[in-house]
Structure 1
Amino acid sequence: MRVLQNLAFPGPSQVQGLSFDPEREWDVGSLLLEIKMLEERLYGSGDIISFNKHQESKRHVGPSKTADKRGIRPFVMRLPDGNASEHEDDMDKDDDDNSNRHGLVNRKQSAPGDHAIRKRFVMHVSDDDGGLDNDDGYLDSDDDGLDNNKGNLIEASLSEMINEFQLSVQEEIRSQSSAMKHKLAGNNQKLKSSLEKIAKFLESRRDLDRKVDTEFRRMLAETVDNHLTAIRRDHEVKSQVEERKLMSDAAEEAKRKEKALHEEKLRQEKAKAEAEAKLKEEEAKRHALEAERKEKETADKLAAAIAQEAAARLAQESVSGSHPDSGSAAKKSDAFKASKSALEAEQNRMLKLKEFDEMIQILKSKQVVLYSKDFSSHERHMARLIRTISGTKDNVRTRASELIKLMSDPAFPKPISIVTFCKKVLLHCKSYNIAVVFGCAHLIVVVTSKVILSMDILLAEFHQACIFTVPKSTASKSQYESEAAYYKALGFQEDGGKIEKEQDFMKGIESYMKLYGAIVQTEVEGHYNSHGLAEGWSWLARFLNALPANKYTTIALNAFLQTAGFALHRKYKSQFRKMLKVIAEDYLTALKGREDLVLHQVIAEIQSYIKDQKFLRRPEGSVLEASSMSSQLAPV
């Protein structure tokens, strides 16, 4: 039951000696408990008067459970212990107050002669009513009629007030109970709705779980079915493979038997053919031995003739005390500036080249049976291979193997092959781009490592084509008989009695020196370069020590550095930098003040090469590409 709040009496706090002290929080159970306690106090009995309108029944009401649980103190009605004179209000005022009050006083109906009750509900009579108080504040017992009437009036007023209050409390309790019922009904409805939603959610959840379980079972069944199908298919494939293997084994066995029969038949036929061929072979061997004996006799005669002619030439040279051209060579050596070691190396190479040329003339003049093939076709074939050289590894490897095979062919004299190779390589040197120059250098290193003396002959051809490969330079024009002789000594080519143009000559110097520098720096795995970086370092030292600074030597130096500078710096490092410092401070300084556009361009290139440290970058084309389609489509 809901606790009634703010329930208080609107009248005075005391009426006829009764003091009301209500608390803010109390309920009807607490009020009834206080009334019961009051009755026990007044009458010494536990009976409580029922507060219905006609007072026809009694009921016993115990302490409120709600008050006990919530800690609400009960409604207290106090009776003062003092005299009647302590009350300040009169009977009329008490009657008015009692008529407006909503307090509760519980008591039993008593007999009219019950003086114990009347003594506790004594009213103070004011002077206006004519009543006289005793000394103790109570009425005399002689005025029993007036006392009874007033007591009945108070008791009736109090009973009426209690009935009215009970009715108001009951009405309030009914309204609160109705509101509580409505609220409980609403809460029950909400709870019912929530339970229905929960039931629907659980049902939908169960449906979803059933669907998921069904889908999972379906997927599991499909997976198992697919797995079993795959196993069955694999088993079928293996069975088919086994069947085909058995069939193929049977077929192979049949083929082997048939082949064995066929081979036996062939063996018999072959044995018969071999017996016949053996007779023919023995007869052919006899003829071959006879022909070989005759060829050997011819070769011995040719070698004896060549040796006899060489011995005669050497004997003649020993008698004269020097080489036939030694005098002229001495005179020529005085006209050139070069280191002594460079001139000696050049002379040795030129002697070997001259010997090869003499042997070639003898071989071509002797139309012997051993060398009956056409030399010109052999030379054209070699020239065609050299013209198709490119800057790729596959091309260089193929051309080198073909050239080595041609130069090792016993059908042609080796001197002719070597000299032809060297001349053709230098003949096409001017038409090579920088990539082909390095490709040609790789080919030269591979061929010369397999063919003996070919490097010396090639260097001799270099020296003839360009004197700066020695290196050496000519003296002044005044030491020569004519201007044409001076230009020839420099290396100008003569064609039809005309000396080539200076522009072509400078282009030739650049081409020869680039190829020479490329050969010096080339290293091929598995092949020995007999004229490698050590010879290139010697050439650079001899060049700076012996050659003067002029336009032609500057072109030669620039071309050599462009191809060999990177490899020389990688090997000699600080020593090579010192060489470059000498070139920058001494060699190029000596060229200042000369008015020549070509010379100025070459000087600018050398200065840029040193200043920008281009020697730290690998030259373009020095590393051959793996392969190229253009190398296969080159013109033959």
Structure 2
Amino acid sequence: MGYAKLELLLPMKAAMITSVDPDPLWTLDDLLSELNSLELQLGARDHFSSPLKKYERFSEVKETRGSDKPFVMCILEDDAEESGSGDGFTNHGLTTGTRFTCDVFYVSESEGSDDELHMEPTSPLLMEKKSIEEGILFELENKHHLIVKEQLRSKLSALELSQKNENEKSSFSMHQLEKQAEARREMDRRLDKQYQRRIAEVLDNRLSILQRNHEQRSQIEERRIRDDAVLEEAKRKEKAMIEERLCQEKAKTEAEAKLNAIKQAEVHKAALEAENRAAAEAAEKEIARIRETTALDASKKESTKSKGIKVFASETALKAESNRLTIYNEAAGNLNAIALKDIDRLGRQMKKKVNQAGGSVENVRTKARELVQLIDDPVLPISISSMIFANKVLSLCENPSLGFDTTAFSCGWVILLVSSQVPSVIDFVIAEFHRTCIYTVPKHPKALDAASQTNEYWKMMGYREKDGKIESSKEFMERAECCMKLYAALIQTEIDGVRNPHGLREGWTWIAMLLNTLPANAATSMALEAFLRMAGYALFRRYKSQFIKVLNVISTRFLPTLKQKQGEARREVVMKLEQYLNDKVYMQEPEGRHLQGSSLSKVFW
């Protein structure tokens, strides 16, 4: 049998249980309803039968007691066995009691018992005859009263103890808070005193500094006033002296001014004459050099007809070179009709602009516009201006700097931008390339014997004569290498909106003609290595597998032939070519190919 929870008859919103009556007043109706609820709870929890279920429900007993029917006691078999075991007999049937009535009788107050206090005051009966069920109810009720009282006493004790502990904790917490508040107030008072003391010290120091500064300013002001007074006095004296000196030197100044004007006119005239002479000499040297190179071109053609020299080149390359040099020589023949000072002036201005072009796209575009304006100068014909421009562009190869590769790409931009506005410029530039380095054609003159290796032969190769002596092979190779790099930078320059008349197609033709017609030696291998190092990346991107086939030809045919020959220069260039092929340098973009600020394919002229 389980346990049922009994709740005290108290208001639901009671804040605290202050006192509970351990002996509450229970009416019979309240007790019956409570017992019915207990029976329902016990029946829901336990599956076995309770002793209370063996009899009728208490409400039915109450109704039966009030009726006029005779009292009938029903005893079940189990109850009969229990009672029979106690009394010594067993009855397996129902025992029907005889109907009896008891007249109502009264007793005096002196004969009553203490239980009368709990009986209803309106009941006139001293005691009613109780049934078995009511007896059991009475026992349960007494037991229930005792348990409730014990629970109430325990609950009250626990509540009182808990309330006492809470009161003690609250008192202790309040005491601690008061101590902390007092300590905090004491700390605040100390901090306030320290802060006020520090403020007083700072104010004292500030006032002392202000007073000292004020005294210093006062002294400075007094000193300045005295100095101003002394200076004014000195100025008055100096002014008087200057006025006297001016009066004395006035006559001398007028005479000297006349003499100085005459001398300055003479000096200016002499300087102008010297400048004209220098410009004339520079122009004469430039014209002499152009005429010399023109005559050298003619002598090259005549010397190639001799039996001692053989020229290796394709007919197409020689024809293209002849056409460009014809245009160039015609313009050079008209130099006699041009004033030397105009040629010198235009050459110096163009060289300055070409040297300054580089760095960013905007700077290159600006310098290209300025060069176009110089070429369109009405003082000189466009052919002469174009020839001078081509000469100044190739002058970059005379003394190459450490960053020549980047300069070469910038110069390629300038050439392409200028030629887009002045189309004749590109012919003069390519002709100047051919005159400066014959390997841009490409062609190579070879002396068949030692007697043919004269100064004229070396000049035909591109060597220069200094003080009657031919320059060294190292100087010639360095200049030719720079010229080939500049030529390779030009053919791969691509700008949106600008057509390159001498583009990658010409570069592909050049490399094919070199491998097919020129012999493998130090000079041709140098030209090939310099060209590939600058233009190999662009050719690989354009021609893909066809360019790889060209590299295979170099690896299987050109390099083996080159290795069979002797010479320090040959060994050096062989190492460069092998390194280029083994490291696949053609797959890496050359440094400086993209100008700062944009890419080659996204800039419009």
Aligned counterparts of 1:553 and 1:339: Cα–Cα separation in 2: 15
- Residue pair 1:385, 1:399 contacting (<8 A) in 2 also: yes
Distance change >3 Å, CA 332–CA 615, structure 1 → 2: farther
Aligned-partner SS, 1:336: strand
Once residues 300 and 579 of structure 2 are traced to their aligned partners in structure 1, the CA distance between those partners, rounded to angstroms, is 45
Q: Which residue of 1 aligns with 2:338?
A: 363
CA drift at 1:610: 2.5
Q: Which residue matches 1:539? A: 510
Match of 1:60 among 119, 128, 131: 128
- Identify the match of residue 414 of structure 1 among 382, 392, 400: 382
- 1:382 maps onto 2:350 in alignment: yes
Q: How does 1:572-583 map to 2 (within 5 A)?
A: 572-583=543-554
Partner secondary structure for residue 474 of structure 1: strand
Paired position in structure 2 for 1:615? 586
What stretches of structure 2 of length at least 5 have no aligned partner?
1-30, 36-50, 66-70, 75-94, 114-124, 163-297, 599-605
| CA shift in 2, pair 1:328/1:391, >3 Å | same
Query: What does 1:504-519 align with in structure 2 at a 5 Å threshold?
Result: 504-519=475-490
Contact 1:391 1:621 in 2 (8 A): no
Which amino acid counterpart does residue 412 of structure 1 have in structure 2?
Answer: L
Contact 2:304 2:311 in 1 (8 A): no
Q: 1:331 to 1:445 in 2, by over 3 A?
A: farther
Provide the C-alpha distance between the structure 1 equivalents of 2:98 and 2:511, rounded to a whole number of angstroms. 150
Task: Say whether the 8 Å CA contact 1:492–1:499 is kept in structure 2.
Answer: yes
Please state whether the residue corresponding to 1:431 is helix, strand or coil: coil
Map of 2:440 onto structure 1: 469
Aligned match for 1:526, one of 491, 494, 497 = 497
CA distance in structure 2 between the aligned counterparts of 1:414 and 1:59, rounded to whole angstroms:
152
Equivalent residues in 2 for 1:219-618, closer than 5 Å: 327-328=302-303, 330-331=305-306, 335-364=310-339, 374-429=342-397, 430-432=399-401, 433-476=404-447, 478=449, 481-618=452-589
Cα distance, 1:558 vs. partner? 0.6
Larger radius of gyration: 1
Alpha carbons 1:521, 1:532 under 8 Å: kept? yes
Counterpart contact for 1:48–1:60, Cα < 8 Å: no
C-alpha contact (below 8 Å) 2:72/2:98 kept by paired residues: no
* Letter aligned with residue 575 of structure 1: Q
Unaligned runs of 5+ in 1: 4-22, 75-168, 195-322, 366-372, 628-636
1:91-121 Cα deviation digits (max 9, x unpaired) = xxxxxxxxxxxxxxxxxxxxxxxxxxxxxxx
- Residues 36 and 47 of structure 1 are in contact (CA less than 8 Å); yes or no, is this contact kept in structure 2? no
Q: Per the alignment, in what secondary structure is the counterpart of residue 428 of structure 1?
A: helix
Contact 2:308–2:448, Cα closer than 8 Å, also in 1:
no
CA 1:616–1:498: 2 relative to 1, 3 Å: same
Deviation sequence 1:493-526 (CA, Å, 0-9, x none): 1122122222111111210000111111112222
Q: Distance in 1 between matches of 2:576 and 2:301?
A: 41
CA distance in 2: counterparts of 1:566 and 1:62, whole angstroms: 124
Q: How many residues align?
A: 368
Query: How much does 1:411 deviate?
Result: 1.8
C-alpha contact 2:309 2:447 (8 A) present in aligned 1? no
1:412-447, CA deviations, whole angstroms, 9 ceiling, x for partnerless residues?
A: 222321111111111112425111110001111111
Cα distance in structure 1, aligned partners of 2:554 and 2:144: 122
User: Which residue is equivalent to 1:206?
Assistant: none
C-alpha change, 1:48 and 1:620, in structure 2 (3 Å) is: farther
Match of 1:98 in 2: none
**TM-score, normalized by length of structure 2?**
0.53
Q: 1:126-183, CA deviations, whole angstroms, 9 ceiling, x for partnerless residues? A: xxxxxxxxxxxxxxxxxxxxxxxxxxxxxxxxxxxxxxxxxxx99x976763443353
The answer on whether the counterparts of 2:309 and 2:448 sit within 8 Å (CA) in structure 1 is no
Give the 3 Å change call, closer, same or farther, for CA 47–594 of structure 1 in structure 2.
farther
CA distance in 2, matches of 1:523, 1:36: 127
TM-score relative to the length of structure 1: 0.50
Distance 1:566 1:37, change over 3 A: closer
Q: Is the 8 A contact 2:312 2:517 kept in 1?
A: yes
Distance apart, 1:338 and its partner CA: 0.7
TM-superposed deviation, 1:358: 0.7
